[in-house]
Amino acid sequence: MTAVSTQIQLVARPVGWPTHDDFRTVAVELPALADGEVRVNNEFMSVDPYMRGRMNDVKSYTPPFVLGETMTGGAIGRVIASASDELPVGTVVLHQLGWRDIAQADAANFRAVPELPGVPLSAYLGILGMTGLTAYVGLMEIAGLANGETVFISGAAGAVGTAAGQIARLKGASRVIGSAGTAEKVALLTEKYGYDAAFNYKDAPVRQQLADAAPGGIDVYFDNVGGDHLEAALDAFNDGGRAALCGAIVSYNSTERTPGPDNMANIITRGLSLKGFTIGKYLQHFPAFSAEMGSWLSEGKVVFDETVVDGLDNSIDAFLDLMRGANIGKMVVRIS
Amino acid sequence: MTAVSTQIQLVARPVGWPTHDDFRTVAVELPALADGEVRVNNEFMSVDPYMRGRMNDVKSYTPPFVLGETMTGGAIGRVIASASDELPVGTVVLHQLGWRDIAQADAANFRAVPELPGVPLSAYLGILGMTGLTAYVGLMEIAGLANGETVFISGAAGAVGTAAGQIARLKGASRVIGSAGTAEKVALLTEKYGYDAAFNYKDAPVRQQLADAAPGGIDVYFDNVGGDHLEAALDAFNDGGRAALCGAIVSYNSTERTPGPDNMANIITRGLSLKGFTIGKYLQHFPAFSAEMGSWLSEGKVVFDETVVDGLDNSIDAFLDLMRGANIGKMVVRIS
C-alpha cells in the first residue's frame, strides 16, 4: 500500500528573515510499510522559534536542517497503517516528523499518548508537552524558584510564557510580572493568566517599566527574549537573583552580532546567576512535570491559548508570524 | 598615652581614573585607649581592585568610602598597646583598618593569626587570606570544577589568578590556561605557576588566542577581567561550561556603560552557567580553605608572588599601578 506525503523542505539557508523562496513543497510517494513501521496521519504540527537556528548551517544543540530534505519538528497524529504490534491503527502518537501531512517510520520514532477528555491533541505540542516542560524546568530546576519570590517573565504571552506565569504562581511566587508586545497581549496576561503586573515593551524602555512594576526588585527572571529585557532584569535583580535563559528571539534573525547587556558587572556585585538551557537535556523531568500539569489541567488551575493556523500550505507563514510575535499562546498548524 | 596616626582619606569621587587630587593625607591624634581597645602598628596593607568601586557613591556589596573620612581595607599588624585581655601586646592581627600606619579600635575588629615560619605576614593579605579564598571559592563552589576539566583564568598573573591556577591543578584540572598583559607575566605563568598554556591578550584577539590554546574547548572560566575575555570564553565553552565571575577590571574606570558579550546566545544553546560572587558572602568556606592552603604552602606545593610598595605615602600610586596591571601577584604596601 503506497501513499503520497506532502512535505516542506528547506532549499536555501535564510540570511536574516526567511522568505518563501527558502522552502519548497514536494510530494513524496511513500513505499509500502516495512516490518516494524507505522504510517501516521498528522493532525497538528508545531512551529517553534528554535527552528530558525536549525535553518543556519552552524553547530548547535540540534543539528541544522539538511538542504533539500524535509524539515522535522514536533507533531501529533494518529496511526493509519501499522506493521508494528506496539502501535496499532488508531493509536495517538507524539513524534518529531512534522512539516508533512503523513509520516512514516519505524515505530520507535513514535510515542503513544492518551487522549484526555476535553483536551485537544494539540495540547501535546504545548502546555502538556515540551512547551509546558520548558516553563516548568526553567523555573524550578534552572532558576530554583522559592516560595514568596518575585518573578519576571519576558515574552510572557507566548506559549512558554503563559505556562511559566501560571506555574510560578502555583509554585508560590508572591508576584509575577510579564512583558509582551501588544496591548491585547498585555491585557490577557493579567486578566487570563494570573500575572500581577504586565507591560508592553514597546511603550517605554524596559528598564523603566520593569523598575516601576517591581518596586521591590526581582528574584527570578525567565528570559524568552534577551537583549534589552535581560539588561533590564540585571538592573532589577535583588542580591542572589537567578535568570533562566531560555530564548533570545531578538537575535535569531540578526545578521550581525548583537552587543550583550551593558551592566554585566551587576552579576558580580549582586551575586547573580545566569543559566541557559535547552529542554532536550532535561527530559528526565517529564514524568514529574506531566503528573503535576495533568492534575492542574484537570482541576482547571491552568489555562492555555493556542493560535491555530489551518493547512500545511500555510506552515511557513505560521512560522514567520511566530517569529514576528503574531501568536497568542502556542502556535500550531492544523494539518488535517 | 596618645599617638599620631597618618591616614589616607578620599576627598573627591573620581570620574574615570582616580588622581592624587582625589585623596589627602592627614595626621590624626589618637586618644588614650578606651577599655577593650587595642592599638595596632600596621606592617602591611592591601590595595585591591574592588576599592575602586567603593570610591563611587553607588549601592554595592561594600558601602562606598565616605568623603573626608579615612578609607578602609585589609591590613595586618602587631598590637603595640592593649586594653583588652584577648589581644595582648605583640599579637599579630588581621583586620580591615588599612590606609593608615596605626589603627586603634575595639578588639572585636581584629582577628589574631599565627605567625608561620618562613611565611611573611603579608601572605595573610593574599594567598592565605581573602585572595586565596577568592580563588578557592570561585573554582570549587561557584564553578564546581571537576576532575579532568580544562580551565581558563583571565588576569592570571594577578594575586587571585596565580592562586587560582595552582588550586585548579591541585584539584585535578587536566589543562590550565591563563591570560595576562605582558610577556614577562605570560612567562611566569607557565614557568612558575604551573599553567599549561598562557598568552598575552595584547598580542592578538583573545577569541583567537584562547581558541588556539584550548583546541578541546574549556569547561570552567575564572573571570577576573570581563569584556573581550568573557566574550572569548563564551565562544570557547564546551556544553555545560561554568563561569565564575569575580572581577570586571576593564569596566571599573569606565565612565560609560560598556556593551556586554555579543555571543550571549551561546549561554542558551550550550547550557552554560555564569555566576558572579563577592567573597564576603562565602566566608564560611574559610576554615576548609585555610587548612588546605596551609598544608599546600607547608609542603611547597603552592608558590606566590608579591609586589611590595614601600611606604604609606606611596599607597595611592600602588593602587593606581594595580589598576593598570603593573603588579605581579598580590600588591601590598609595606607600612613599617
Q: Tell me the C-alpha distance between B243 and A41, whole Å.
A: 46
Q: What mean pLDDT comes out for the span B52-71?
A: 88
Nearest to B260 among A53, A239, A264 (CB): A264
Q: Which of A35-49, A105-119, B72-86, B249-263 has the lowest mean pLDDT?
A: B249-263
Question: How many Cα atoms sit within 13 Å of A313 on the Cβ side?
Answer: 1
- Beta-strand relationship, B237-245 and B273-276: parallel
Going by pLDDT thresholds of 50, 70 and 90, the confidence category of residue A118 is confident
Does residue A296 register a pLDDT over 70?
A: yes
CB of A116 closer than 8 Å to CB of A302: no
Does residue A111 register a pLDDT over 80?
A: yes
For B236-286, the pLDDT digits (tens) are: 999 999 999 997 655 555 556 778 899 999 999 999 999 999 988 998 998
State ipTM.
0.79
pLDDT, greater one: A123 or A118: A123
Cα A232 vs. chain centroid, distance in angstroms? 23
Q: In the prediction, which pLDDT does A255 show?
A: 58
Q: What CATH class does A132-280 carry?
A: alpha beta
CB contact set of B310 (below 8 Å; sequence gap of 6+): B333, B334
Residue to substitute from A142, A207, A269, A279, interface B, most B β-carbons within 10 A:
A269
**What would the grid cell of residue B71 be?**
578609607
CB of B222 closer than 8 Å to CB of B244: yes
Report CA-CA distances (Å) from B331 to B73, B99, B122, B139.
13, 14, 10, 22
Q: In the prediction, which pLDDT does A266 show?
A: 93
**What would the grid cell of residue A210 be?**
520593569
Q: Tell me the C-alpha distance between A246 and A226, whole Å.
A: 9
Q: What mean pLDDT comes out for the span B162-185?
A: 97
- Cβ contact (<8 Å) for B60 and A269? yes
- Cβ contact (<8 Å) for A61 and B272? no
Q: In the prediction, which pLDDT does A312 show?
A: 97
Does residue A251 register a pLDDT over 90?
A: no
Task: Give chain B's mean pLDDT.
Answer: 92
Q: Tell me the C-alpha distance between A103 and B293, whole Å.
A: 62
CB of B137 closer than 8 Å to CB of B203: no
What is residue B109's DSSP assignment? G
Report CA-CA distances (Å) from B335 to A199, B44, B55.
57, 5, 22
Cβ pairs bridging A and B (under 8 Å): 106
**What would the grid cell of residue B227 be?**
569584556
DSSP A52-113: HHHTSSS--SSPPPPTTSB--B-EEEEEEEES-SSS-TT-EEEESB-SBSEEEEEGGGEEE-
Nearest to B260 among A53, A251, A259 (CB): A259
Q: Tell me the C-alpha distance between B179 and B232, whole Å.
A: 12
For A303-335, the pLDDT digits (tens) are: 998 899 999 999 999 999 998 888 877 899 999
Nearest to A263 by CA among A245, A236, A293: A236
Segments making up each domain of chain B, as ranges: 3-126+305-334, 130-280
Percent of chain B with pLDDT over 70: 96
**Residue A289, φ and ψ in degrees, nearest 5:** -60, -50
**What residue type is A74 in one-letter code?**
G
**CA distance, residue A49 to nearest chain B CA (Å):** 13
Q: In the prediction, which pLDDT does A252 show?
A: 54
**CA distance, residue B220 to nearest chain A CA (Å):** 14
Q: Tell me the C-alpha distance between A244 and A218, whole Å.
A: 13
Which residues in chain B have their CB less than 8 angstroms from residue A231's CB? Answer: 260
Residues in chain A whose beta carbon is closer than 8 A to a beta carbon of chain B? 53, 60-61, 226, 230-231, 239, 245-248, 251, 257-278, 281
Which architecture characterizes domain B130-280 according to CATH? 3-Layer(aba) Sandwich (3.40)
CB of B222 closer than 8 Å to CB of B143: yes
Q: Tell me the C-alpha distance between A86 and A83, whole Å.
A: 9
DSSP A234-247: HHHEEEEEEEEE--
CB of B34 closer than 8 Å to CB of B49: no
Does residue B135 register a pLDDT over 90?
A: yes
Does residue A81 register a pLDDT over 70?
A: yes
Q: Alpha helices of chain B — where are they, by DSSP H?
A: 50-54, 130-137, 159-170, 183-191, 206-213, 227-236, 249-252, 265-269, 286-298, 315-324
Does residue B291 register a pLDDT over 90?
A: no
- Cβ contact (<8 Å) for B277 and A264? no
Q: In the prediction, which pLDDT does B1 show?
A: 67
Task: Classify the C-alpha dihedral A256-A262-A263-A265 as positive or negative.
Answer: positive
CATH number at A3-126+305-334: 3.90.180.10
Does residue B310 register a pLDDT over 60?
A: yes
- Cβ contact (<8 Å) for A275 and B273? yes
Strand partners, A162: none
Q: In the prediction, which pLDDT does B256 show?
A: 65
**What would the grid cell of residue A140 be?**
524550578
Q: Tell me the C-alpha distance between B215 and B213, whole Å.
A: 6
**What would the grid cell of residue A30 be?**
511513500
